[in-house]
Structure 1
């Protein structure tokens, strides 16, 4: 979903966002919340909720109190209070849904650190903000070089300037504790600004930078996923996925968050199957479970010593054999229980609804090119006729 300024232009050429990420529909921002209460009036003349959600670079959001009673809408650029100076961001949510979001994130309404909105950003504020943002990429290259020269085992992933350009926050990832006191001195001397170092996890780094996942869509953590649940290899085992780190890991190097999406469905379906560690006792031998298919309700068993030969039975048949084994009874073999499940024929016959003969009627496969006819020269002398024919 994109706003009008992000749609395609003439001859299918993309226009690109002309609002610098502050679209009125808020469709270009990340981690947005749809305000379904925007066109509804409050009952009994109640005042609107005075807190506002403001988004900064790469999905960073904070909540500010609208003490000046400014008329704010989604997409407005505002100057907000900061610890030192002021910051510049875009309004992403107003009204009662802000109360719901603050309650969900456990943000107190009467805390010690309550920041407010100063004003709507003026053109001067926006110019300073854009000028500071343009410095960030060049600074990141130099900052990484300084960290390498000091032999620090850290990676500077992103730099974010404050709206007034008075402070720069360096986001970095590291597996161990890093002593960056000397690095801060180098940054302050080279960049001439206040420096703040902030360590983030590998998942948070991927969420800030964004990207395209193996599914072809934007990363969930950078678009809509706000809380990171722990992902274990057991989730892959329950879904019978190959334990290949290259396939299961995301761009952050950790297990993909989407492994948890269908895990509850798999766990619910597995409960209807007999446990895979239960062996089936038959007169032919002991069978061990090799594989299950929760969608078709099928299980594959193999006799001990004959691991190459798998026998397919349904989960109900497996339960029946287990019930007989509990009464000290054995079936003859799995072959008499094996069921051949008929697979539906997926072949589709396409009919000629257009009335044309064939889709390949224009293909000239195997046809030879005709040679052009040689023109006969009228002035060419005819060969002499046979004398015998003349005598006749």
Structure 2
């Protein structure tokens, strides 16, 4: 099914990008895996892998066995096996890469839980599927109102119809356990379909709904991130970020997943620095670490009782002082070490005009010069001349 900006054609394919582009309105290519094995041929005697990956609404994916030996390509709309009836989804991956993905996600190849692909979706299947998807937004508004009327502390974030419109799954988030038995009765009576309630976490909710992050790009969890690792405030401390919850929290209300991306690099760099809880012993007094600059390899120390005066030394100098302290030797003061640290002068880059010596403001409209009135000037001169003659006669 296409997104809101390109709509859906008769065969179920998007009209606008035709499943070749990426848009941010309804995730045509949400959580897409690049098939880097597509241009490689199988060895002689090897049969192609008979499993395919099928995506449903908002990045929900499952793996199905192609028992009917259908010729399936990426983008085909298929009818798949469900617990009751059938579901309709889009093929997102075929071939040997499906085997790799199933091993990575620990999906069993054999067993009673193996799901199958029935057929390629017919026009009737697609019509029912599209009409069911069009009802979801109106249902979500009513469902939220019903939950508010029952004073339930829950938020219904999304609704997903099954492909044959026989079941509707309500995704919700809640801080505590919610008794929604009465709510299910109201839903079944109002919407006249099978109801399934599914609780998701706040990160999973953000991944399903999508959005734009503070970096200006689409959310990582809704585009490529598949596993959610725990993020702690220590990740921000190691990277020397200000502990501002408004800047560190994402749209899910939790700490941003991107805080873990460069954490390993910071931890490796911090290992080269002496521990910040070690005090430097000098003849002038004990010095305590106040700040470190991982990129420049510089540390700032201040004497106890003189917290306003910071002295900048390199990490190698700090290690040298600590080594001398272990030998029961004290350096004279931090001033002699901080004097040796030379600040890097930022050289200004002189850009040359490769086109010519033309000014950047050459096309700007110049202010017209004020023209003096010649008539007024002549009249003033005539008045001054007779006065000069009288002064000469005197």
Q: Which runs of 5+ in 2 are unaligned?
A: 23-27, 376-394
- Change in CA separation of 1:371 and 1:81 when aligned onto 2, cut-off 3 Å: farther
SS in 1 for 2:335: coil
SS in 2 for 1:357: coil
**In structure 2, what is the equivalent of residue 230 of structure 1?**
230
Provide the rounded CA distance (Å) in 1 between the counterparts of 2:101 and 2:154: 34
Contact 2:154 2:173 in 1 (8 A): yes
TM-score, structure 1 normalization: 0.88
**In structure 1, what is the equivalent of residue 348 of structure 2?**
347
**Is residue 256 from structure 1 mapped to residue 256 from structure 2 by the alignment?**
yes
Provide the rounded CA distance (Å) in 1 between the counterparts of 2:79 and 2:263: 44
Q: Which runs of 5+ in 1 are unaligned?
A: 7-14, 375-392
TM-score, structure 2 normalization: 0.88
Q: How many residues align?
A: 362
Return 104-113 or 205-214, whichever deviates more: 104-113
Deviation at 1:96, TM superposition (A): 0.8
**Is residue 194 from structure 1 mapped to residue 188 from structure 2 by the alignment?**
no
Provide the rounded CA distance (Å) in 2 between the counterparts of 1:26 and 1:122: 25
**In structure 2, what is the equivalent of residue 157 of structure 1?**
157
Contact 1:24 1:74 in 2 (8 A): no
**Is residue 128 from structure 1 mapped to residue 90 from structure 2 by the alignment?**
no
Contact 2:314 2:341 in 1 (8 A): no
**Is residue 110 from structure 1 mapped to residue 110 from structure 2 by the alignment?**
yes
Provide the rounded CA distance (Å) in 2 between the counterparts of 1:66 and 1:174: 38
Provide the rounded CA distance (Å) in 2 between the counterparts of 1:293 and 1:215: 24
Spell out, residue by residue over 1:195-230, the C-alpha distance to the aligned partner (whole angstroms, 9 max, x if none): 000000000000000000111111000011001110
Spell out, residue by residue over 1:327-349, the C-alpha distance to the aligned partner (whole angstroms, 9 max, x if none): 11111110000133332424221
Provide the rounded CA distance (Å) in 2 between the counterparts of 1:289 and 1:309: 12
SS in 1 for 2:246: helix
Contact 1:184 1:195 in 2 (8 A): yes
Provide the rounded CA distance (Å) in 2 between the counterparts of 1:356 and 1:59: 55
Contact 1:289 1:299 in 2 (8 A): yes
Provide the rounded CA distance (Å) in 2 between the counterparts of 1:251 and 1:182: 31
- Change in CA separation of 1:360 and 1:190 when aligned onto 2, cut-off 3 Å: same
**In structure 1, what is the equivalent of residue 363 of structure 2?**
362
Contact 1:25 1:75 in 2 (8 A): no
Deviation at 1:174, TM superposition (A): 0.3
- Change in CA separation of 1:370 and 1:132 when aligned onto 2, cut-off 3 Å: farther
Provide the rounded CA distance (Å) in 2 between the counterparts of 1:341 and 1:170: 63
Return 353-362 or 90-99, whichever deviates more: 353-362
**In structure 2, what is the equivalent of residue 20 of structure 1?**
14
SS in 1 for 2:87: strand
Spell out, residue by residue over 1:14-40, the C-alpha distance to the aligned partner (whole angstroms, 9 max, x if none): x84764399454753111111111122
Contact 1:168 1:194 in 2 (8 A): yes
Contact 1:289 1:300 in 2 (8 A): yes
Deviation at 1:133, TM superposition (A): 0.4
**In structure 1, what is the equivalent of residue 391 of structure 2?**
none
**In structure 1, what is the equivalent of residue 275 of structure 2?**
275
Within-5 A mapping of 1:1-392: 16=6, 19-20=13-14, 23-25=18-20, 27=22, 28-338=28-338, 339-364=340-365, 367-370=368-371
Deviation at 1:88, TM superposition (A): 0.4
**In structure 1, what is the equivalent of residue 385 of structure 2?**
none
- Change in CA separation of 1:196 and 1:329 when aligned onto 2, cut-off 3 Å: same
**In structure 2, what is the equivalent of residue 381 of structure 1?**
none
Provide the rounded CA distance (Å) in 2 between the counterparts of 1:370 and 1:253: 66
Spell out, residue by residue over 1:8-65, the C-alpha distance to the aligned partner (whole angstroms, 9 max, x if none): xxxxxxx847643994547531111111111222112211111110000000000011
